[in-house]
Amino acid sequence: MTANSLSLWTPAKVNLYLEIVGDRPDGFHELSTIFQSIGLMDRVTVAVKSGPAAISVDCAHPLVPNDHTNLAYRAAELMAQAFPEGADRQSTIQIAIAKNIPVAAGLAGGSSNAAAVLVGLNMLWELGLTRQELQDLAAKLGSDTAFCIGGGTALATGRGEVLDSLPCISDLWVVLGKYDNLSISTPWAYKRYREVFEKEYARDQDTQTSRHDQVRSGAMVRLLSKLAKGDRHNLEKIRALLRNDLERVVLPDYDQIQKLRECFLGQTPLGAMMSGSGPTVFGIAANGANAKLIKSAVRQYMPDPELSLWTAPFIAQGVHLASDISV
Ligand code: ATP
């Protein structure tokens, strides 16, 4: 009997480091970034059956489209085009998304949902694609989607789709804060960055490669490798090593994010920063109990009911099965 439905957890990510290195011939930015998966996850259910060729998406979140613009829909469309033999057998694809990851928040929620559809259809249609093959497909959908397949800790270059796995860190947590009424468009943040900082861009490939090498052998990667081995002697150094270039354009325009970041910085010795293009701010916590304390302290200083706060551990996985396959 062939499985026809499965559910997957789709973890969010934070960027522990995001350097905008320069320009690319395709018009995107060349990045050096360190992604970290966290245990704040959506649940995506993918079902296939024989019938008319059709894709449907069902997500109750008011900011998430249920049409062909949903990234999960686009992932299904890509798979149906790339693997017509699977699509011929079971060409009705139904996707249900239970959202826990805030939307347009710099946490790669949509990318993670799309990654789940690639992984899910690979299993349901028994295509036998490798992780690398899934990542190559994912890169066609967005810059963060390839990372979301395998997750964990990774250094990403290119648009963010060229991945080098780093050893996984356990026992660190994040506290996340996001104003419900605030969302930031990723294209806007990069466009603004270009307007203001284009003159600093590295354009030739040698300079860009040498920047990547500096990050790869740099202090942040070395510290993360020690933490992954359980050596926490220099844990507090992480505070000074967090970097997100997009803060340079987002913080001056969004006073609320700036203030939230300052509040987080006052509550954790391990540092705080905006994730990706924001507006989510995260603070690092040494363990789960510590994360709860930081969250309560931030809540005390920032009682605004529009501010949502979460705690989540660093996790070593990307998209993964949430339940037994139902047949
Ligand atoms: P990233 O960190 O990868 O830049 P993000 O966390 O900032 O992404 P998303 O939550 O992925 O942003 O949403 C960005 C936009 O994409 C939203 O405006 C939303 O309407 C749209 N979108 C399309 N599909 C999805 C999806 N499955 N989940 C969330 N948003 C989606």
178 is catalytic: no
72 lines ligand 1 (CB under 6 A): yes
My answer on whether 181 and 297 are in the same domain is yes
- pLDDT recorded at residue 323: 66
Burial class (CB in 10 A: 0-12, 13-18, 19+), 206: exposed
114 and 31 fall within a common domain: yes
60 lines ligand 1 (CB under 6 A): no
159 and 201 housed in the same domain: no
- How many angstroms separate the CA atoms of 279 and 292, rounded? 21
Domain presence at residue 12 = yes
Show which of 137, 167, 197 is a domain's final residue: 167
144 CA: nearest ligand 1 atom: 3
Kindly report the protein residue whose alpha carbon is nearest to atom 21 of ligand 1: 64
Together in a domain, 125 and 10? yes
Question: What is the distance between the terminal CA atoms of the chain, rounded to a whole angstrom?
Answer: 7
185 domain-assigned: yes
Same domain, 81 and 192: no
Any idea which residue has 């505070």 for tokens?
Answer: 239
**177 plus 95 within the same structural domain:** no
pLDDT at 327: 36
**Which residue, by CA, sits nearest to atom 25 of ligand 1?**
110
Catalytic annotation present for 26: no
CATH code of the domain covering residue 44: 3.30.230.10
Last residue of a domain, one of 148, 167, 186: 167
Distance 214 CA to ligand 1 centre (A): 31
Q: Do 179 and 90 share a structural domain?
A: no
Q: Is 104 in the pocket of ligand 1 (CB under 6 A)?
A: yes
Q: What is the pLDDT along the chain (327 residues), one digit of tens a residue?
A: 456 999 999 999 999 999 999 999 999 999 999 999 999 999 999 999 998 899 999 999 999 999 999 999 999 999 999 999 887 788 899 999 999 999 999 999 999 999 999 999 999 999 999 999 999 999 999 999 999 999 999 999 999 999 999 999 988 999 999 999 998 999 999 999 999 999 999 989 999 999 999 999 999 999 999 999 999 999 999 999 999 999 999 999 999 999 999 999 999 999 999 999 999 999 999 999 999 999 999 999 999 999 999 999 999 999 999 964 443
Q: What is the pLDDT at residue 326?
A: 43
Ligand 1 site, residue 80, Cβ cutoff 6 A: no
User: Cα separation of 233 and 247, whole Å?
Assistant: 28
2 CB-side CA count, 13 A = 15
| Whether residue 80 sits in one domain with residue 17 | yes
15 C-beta closer than 6 A to ligand 1: no
Number of domains present in the structure of the chain: 2
pLDDT at 86: 81
Same domain, 67 and 193: no
Whether residue 140 sits in one domain with residue 34 = yes
What's the gap in Å between 138 CA and the centre of ligand 1?
15
Query: Measuring CA to CA, how many Å separate 77 from each of 68, 85, 145?
Result: 9, 14, 15
Residue where one domain finishes, among candidates 115, 140, 167: 167
Ligand 1 proximity of 144 Cβ (cutoff 6 Å): yes
Considering 26, 42, 88, 144, which one is annotated as catalytic?
A: 144
Give CA–CA dist 242/16, Å, rounded.
6
* Domain membership of residue 46 as a residue range: 5-167
State the residue for tokens 């510590």: 290
Confidence (pLDDT) at 278: 94
Atom of ligand 1 nearest to the CA of 114: 27
Confidence at residue 192, expressed as pLDDT on a 0 to 100 scale: 97
CB neighbour burial string for 216-242, b if at least 16 within 10 angstroms, e if fewer: eebebbebbebbbeeeeeebeebbebb
Residue whose C-alpha is closest to residue 107's, from 153, 144, 66, 159: 144
For residue 216, give Cα distances in angstroms to 8, 149, 165, 219, 275.
31, 21, 11, 9, 20
pLDDT at 54: 94
